[in-house]
Amino acid sequence: MSEEKSQSGQNAQIDRKNLIKAITYIAIIIAIMGIVWLLPRVALGTSTPFFSVSSESMVPTLNVGDYIVVKYQPFNELKVGDIIVFYSPINPNDIIVHRINDTKIFTGQEVLITKGDNNLYPDPWYVEQEHYIGKYTGFKIPYLGYLALLFPFPVNYIFIIIVILIIFLIEFLPEKKENKVES
């Protein structure tokens, strides 16, 4: 009988250790996801550093499904030729990625005139500072943006993080193994 108690005590101890280990892993995963979520926002100075291109208006520079990186740059430092991301002045729920075509002063403040590279004419509105989100950094991952377009937030971020991790592992793990073999 004491052997049974001893055995059940060991099982309880093992279960407790497994539970602690599982909680530790979950905490580490949550911490890593938090860092992955927070770090780009801090480093790039914007609360929304990633966008998926959803229209053909910027072809051939940007294609539908491109996942682009955006950084904060002060509105008054933007110049003609920069590609920016902004809320549509007509429909604030729409986010647009277009190139600055011109600037002008309108009602005492600087405004931007934008145009998609694939569009014939400039946009029929002015982009004011309140609409501006950030400037395209020049870094994009083709096709990855389709995940963000297909799946709602936050599911899309989870898929995107997984894909980026897989790409990272494919790129860097074989190289490490080769180095270990050579050593």
Residue pLDDT, tens place only, 53-94: 999 999 999 999 999 999 999 999 999 999 999 999 999 989
> Within 13 Å and on the Cβ side, how many CA atoms surround 3?
0
135 and 64 belong to one structural domain: yes
Q: What is the pLDDT of residues 94-139, one digit of tens each?
A: 999 999 999 999 999 999 999 999 999 999 999 999 999 999 999 9
- Opening angle at CA 144, ends 139 and 148, nearest 5: 110
Q: What is the pLDDT of residue 4?
A: 57
104 and 67 belong to one structural domain: yes
- 103 domain residue, yes or no: yes
0.85 cut: is pTM over it? Answer: no
9 and 28 belong to one structural domain: yes
Tell me the two tokens of residue 155: 């599911």
Q: What is the pLDDT of residue 171?
A: 67
Average pLDDT, the chain: 85
Of 87, 76, 74, 79, whose CA–CA distance to 130 is shortest?
A: 87
How much of the chain exceeds pLDDT 70, in percent? 82
Q: What are phi and psi of 98, to 5 degrees?
A: -140, 165
3 and 36 belong to one structural domain: yes
Q: What is the pLDDT of residue 1?
A: 55
17 and 96 belong to one structural domain: no
Residue with tokens 């938090």: 34
28 and 65 belong to one structural domain: no
Domain assignment of residue 86, given as a range: 50-141
102 and 136 belong to one structural domain: yes
Into how many domains does the chain fold? 2
Cis-peptide into 49, omega within 30 deg: no
- 77 domain residue, yes or no: yes
* Residue bearing the bigger pLDDT, 40 or 120: 120
23 and 100 belong to one structural domain: no
81 and 123 belong to one structural domain: yes
Question: 2 vs 6, 8, 15, 86, 122, CA distance in Å?
Answer: 6, 10, 20, 72, 85
Residue 68 neighbours by CB under 8 Å, 6+ apart: 50, 51, 52, 53, 62, 85, 97, 136, 137, 139, 140, 145
| Burial class (CB within 10 angstroms; exposed 0-12, middle 13-18, buried 19+) of 51 | buried
